[in-house]
Amino acid sequence: MAAVATRQPVGRWLADHVVLLIGILVLLYMFVPIGYIFALSFNQPTGRSATAEFESFTWTNWTTICDPDGLCDSLQLSLAVSATATLLATVLGTLMAFALVRHSFRGRSASNLVIFLPMATPEVVMGSSLLAMFVSVGFDSVLGFITIVIAHVLFCLSFVVVTVKARLSGMDSRLEQAAMDLYANEWQTFRLVTLPLAMPGIVAAAMLSFSLSFDDFIVTNFTAGQSVTFPLFVYGSKLKEFPPQLFVVGTLMFLVSFVFVIAGELWRRHRAAQ
Amino acid sequence: MADPARDLRLEDLTKRFGDFTAVDDLTLTVPQGSFFALLGPSGCGKTTTLRMVAGLEDPTTGRVLIGDEDVTHLRPYKRPVNTVFQSYALFPHLTIFENVAFGLRRRGVKDYRQKALDMLELVQLAPYAARKPSQLSGGQQQRVALGRALINEPGVLLLDEPLGALDLKLRRQMQIELKRIQTEIGITFVHVTHDQDEAMTMADTIAVMNHGLIEQIGAPEDLYENPETTFVANFLGQSNLIEAEVLDSADHRVAVDCHGQKVTVDASRSHAGGRNAWLGVRPEKIFAGTAGGDGAAGSNVLTGGRITDVSFVGVSTQYLVAMPWGQELMVFEQNTGERSPFRNGDEVDMRWSPDHAFLLDADQDASAGMMTPEDDE
Amino acid sequence: MTTGPTASPGSVVDVETARRRGWGWLMLIPGMLYLAVFFLFPTVQLFFTSLYDPSGSYDTGYAMTWHFANYVDAVRDSWNLFVRSFLFAGIATAICLALSYPLAYAIAFKSGHWKNFMLVLVIAPFFTSFLLRTLSWRTILSDQGPVTSFLQTIAILPDDGRLLATPVAVIAGLTYNFMPFMTLPIYASLDKVDQRLIEAAGDLYASPFTGFRKITFPLSLPGVVAGTLLTFIPACGDYINAELLGTPKQYMVGNRIQSAFLTEHNYPLAATLSLVLMAVVVVMVVAYVRRAGTEDLL
């Protein structure tokens, strides 16, 4: 090995690592509000405070999460809506992705366009057009769980299709031919080869769907009628009191999802190392 | 024992993709238990033919029969045929054991566990049973692919250039190995390859394909020594093709005139139609001797050659000899050490035994089947 | 190795192709039907709604009079909202790009073992409610907050200046909320870049920066295009940031549409504004994608 200069001036080190440093700074910037949410969850507000400023420290928020009227109900509704919408969107979207990648037929590019359009539509437009339709069909008195789910499936569908398609395009179709060569019929091939290999993409799509749905405000606002999901509750409560338990829930959401993802990553590494 | 009742037969098999004909009216019979090679350059239709036998491609017209059973329109999983794919196509999410056991389980074989373990022993991969394909080397993956197919005891085993991804030494090893397994088990092997060395080493019978058609079928020696088309003459090994005019034929011998010099060819080795023909003779069959010297009695002679290139290739010395009519002929001489090699500019006579030349139709392309730099891999 | 056949017109379509086509349609139909009913149909209906006679109302009903003048009125009255929306969204997208690109680059090339962890960190903030995050910014950027005080100290802001209720806050909010949408596609593109290409560039006398400019950046363009679209389009129609971090002086088209729909119940106006917004967005997207040269985003 040729001799390499080991003396690295600070300037040089900086230049090599400047991009990484910027990246880390940006990441820190992204976490600032999270820090605030975490801190504010311990806040003891005095009276009505629309900007939720720091007052005094307390643990009670964490032990009285469901105290504010309707908070836990809204959480429940959000979970139910998101779970249902995720299920429907994932199933429909996966089927569509398979059709678009594996089967050639006329009208493929037109179909691709129609699927892309919802992603290109501002949420206000989507929400308002759905509401207008529900009203015109006479559904305006039954706005609630079903209409919210319908709306959520709509905007999740495109994301599912794109995600699963990406995974499928990378898959070798000869594996399915090999399966059929080895006496697996079409259904067995799908069940034993295609589906397991596509599963990471499908799971990623489902997770993306769930997060989009759980956190959605604009479209939900239009189509919810009197029902209140968690984001709607947060929006509504800024007009009334501003319970610090909201920040507790926010922190909890963060922690739960974070743990989920880290666990998934660790499990993946464990399996790869086998 | 060979069982004609289980021969593989292709009848008028044709496959068209739009305007392009990949396989053109193919008819051949693969005797049960033989090692059959489909040999040809890329795009000649050999892989398409294989896929039609496997059921992964529907023929446009024609039939595929195994014994008396017409399998032409049967789905792949209904045919007694298994394939070793070019890229192995091992299931990445299953272990080696599960890969090998796959076919047995689909068919509901009860003791698949033991059979799979036995097969892994046979291909010397038993210690790796719990690993995934990505954790194995190329050669090991190839053996898994083979075991996965063989374990089902198919009527016909199809191999699609299975050794292409292996390095030279490993490839040679596997060629011997495959041949040994086939002889032991007695299953019909249909092996698709573009490597003529591979085909000649392993196969009992070779079918040379070009542009969807069969140029010639026969045993490796027959194809090599007595090619019937310029494509076969050039694709298998190398040939010198010299313009010739047929003079007459008598006594099982055909007399031809090569640019003013007379030579003879055995009648059984003449495949020319009209007056004009290509006289073909392989470079290793020619003896270059000092001009004016004596040669073996009865051998054909072409005089007036001059050495223009000498290449030492270890086993042999390869000469290019310029003939009076402008053509350069190739001569390969084994380096037995008996004689020192020629040098550039030496004048030589070319001699060969009449049993070694062949005559081909003049209107065939003399460069058909030759390897160009693009073909070389 | 041959792939599936594509039959040209007039030739025999073999059984295999017909089978696969049949399955293809079957699997596509449920989803397409869903989109047709809940997306295409409402959009068409929105179009018709935009042409109702504006003199009606929610209670008395609307008469369909093909009142194209609605469009003229809407644009004339609200053109400043449109301009502001596109301006805010555009600036936010640009800043987002400037921040996200280095981050994506760092993750793709400089993160080593930490790559997957950093990716998780990029989307982690999204695990809390977007409203809560925006409300946090309201606290962070408040008049008594650290940022405002700091900027006043170093004299970028006058002593009585504020960040909240200014365009700065709204744009800052917009930028923040779309960071992952920008970062992830760019990362995906960068990740696919073959490092050997950059080495080859170096071998051919390119400095690291030139290597980036000529090789890496062009190859990452599909991701940049996807990211900017995924950011700009939702940002145009956003109204939460404007509402929580700004005042009616910073309101965007989305605010107007929301109030028209839900408060005033002025459906024709809301529909008209929605469609104009959508139309402009689509036109801008098509022009942008054509210009950037990556047609096949999907």
> Given this model, what pLDDT does residue C58 score?
63
Which residue ranges of chain B lie beneath pLDDT 70? 1-4, 372-377
Tokens encoding A58: 């307390």
> Given this model, what pLDDT does residue A183 score?
94
| Cα–Cα distance for residue pair B347/B354, rounded to 1 Å | 23
Whether A179 shows a pLDDT value over 70: the answer reads yes
Tokens encoding A57: 């420290």
Name every chain C residue with its beta carbon within 8 A of the beta carbon of B16: 11
Residue A93 confidence class, pLDDT cut points 50, 70, 90: very high
Name every chain A residue with its beta carbon within 8 A of the beta carbon of C31: 92-93, 95-96, 115, 157, 161
Q: Per-residue pLDDT tens for A40-92?
A: 888 776 654 545 556 677 777 777 778 778 888 899 999 999 999 999 999 99
pLDDT (tens, 9 = 90+) of chain C, 298 residues, equals 333 344 333 333 455 666 666 777 788 888 888 988 999 898 888 888 888 777 766 666 667 777 778 888 888 888 888 899 999 999 999 999 999 999 998 888 888 788 888 888 888 887 788 888 888 888 888 777 778 777 777 877 777 667 777 888 889 888 998 888 899 888 888 887 777 887 888 788 777 777 788 788 888 888 888 888 888 988 888 888 888 888 888 888 888 888 888 888 888 888 888 888 888 888 887 788 777 655 444 4
> Given this model, what pLDDT does residue A162 score?
86
- Evaluated on CA atoms A104, A106, A108, A111, the torsion sign reads negative
Give the DSSP per-residue string, C45-60.
HHHHHTTB-TT-BTTT
Give the DSSP per-residue string, A45-86.
--S--TT----EE-SHHHH-TT-STTHHHHHHHHHHHHHHHH
- Quick one: C261 exposed, middle or buried, by C-beta within 10 A (0-12, 13-18, 19+)? buried
Chains that touch C (3 or more CB pairs under 8 A): A, B
- Listed in order, strand segments (DSSP E) in B150-292 are 156-160, 188-193, 205-210, 213-218, 240-250, 253-258, 261-266, 270-271, 276-281, 287-290
Specify whether the CB–CB gap between B214 and B231 falls below 8 A. no
- Quick one: C90 exposed, middle or buried, by C-beta within 10 A (0-12, 13-18, 19+)? middle
| Cα–Cα distance for residue pair C84/C246, rounded to 1 Å | 13
Name every chain B residue with its beta carbon within 8 A of the beta carbon of A180: 55-56, 75-77
Pick the residue of A98, A113, A119, A128 with the most C CBs within 10 A to test the interface with C by mutation.
Answer: A128
Taking an 8 Å cut-off on Cβ atoms, the answer to whether C2 and B22 are in contact is yes
Residue A7 confidence class, pLDDT cut points 50, 70, 90: low
CA distance A126 to chain C (A): 8
Residues 46-65 of B with CB under 8 A from C: 47-48, 51, 57-58, 60
Taking an 8 Å cut-off on Cβ atoms, the answer to whether B18 and C1 are in contact is no
Q: Per-residue pLDDT tens for A102-146?
A: 776 677 777 887 888 888 788 888 888 888 888 778 776 777 888
Residues 83-122 of B with CB under 8 A from C: 86
Q: Per-residue pLDDT tens for B323-363?
A: 999 999 999 999 998 888 899 999 999 999 888 999 998 88
To the question of pTM greater than 0.90 for the whole model, the response is: no
Give the DSSP per-residue string, B132-171.
-GGGS-HHHHHHHHHHHHHTT--SEEEEESTTTTS-HHHH
Residue A2 confidence class, pLDDT cut points 50, 70, 90: very low
Cβ neighbour number for residue B271 with a 10 Å cutoff: 18
Chains A, B: CB contacts within 8 A come to 58
Q: Which of A172, A175, A182 sits opposite B82 (nearest CB)?
A: A182
Specify whether the CB–CB gap between B74 and B243 falls below 8 A. no
- Quick one: C236 exposed, middle or buried, by C-beta within 10 A (0-12, 13-18, 19+)? buried
Specify whether the CB–CB gap between C142 and A51 falls below 8 A. yes
Whether A101 shows a pLDDT value over 90: the answer reads no
Of the candidates B309, B361, B353, B315, which has an alpha carbon nearest to the alpha carbon of residue B331?
B309
Of the candidates B147, B144, B175, B177, which has an alpha carbon nearest to the alpha carbon of residue B161?
B175
Specify whether the CB–CB gap between C135 and A52 falls below 8 A. yes
**Residue type for C59, please?**
D
Task: Produce one character per residue of C200-215: b if its CB has 16 or more CB atoms within 10 Å, e if not.
Answer: ebeeeebeeeebbeeb
Q: Which of C1, C6, C14 sits opposite B58 (nearest CB)?
A: C14
Count the alpha carbons within 13 Å of C101 in the hemisphere toward its beta carbon: 17
> Given this model, what pLDDT does residue C5 score?
41
ipTM of the predicted structure? 0.80
| Cα–Cα distance for residue pair C270/C259, rounded to 1 Å | 8
Q: Per-residue pLDDT tens for B169-219?
A: 888 988 998 999 899 889 999 999 999 999 999 999 999 999 999 999 999
* Coil, helix or strand at residue A181: helix
CA distance C237 to chain A (A): 5
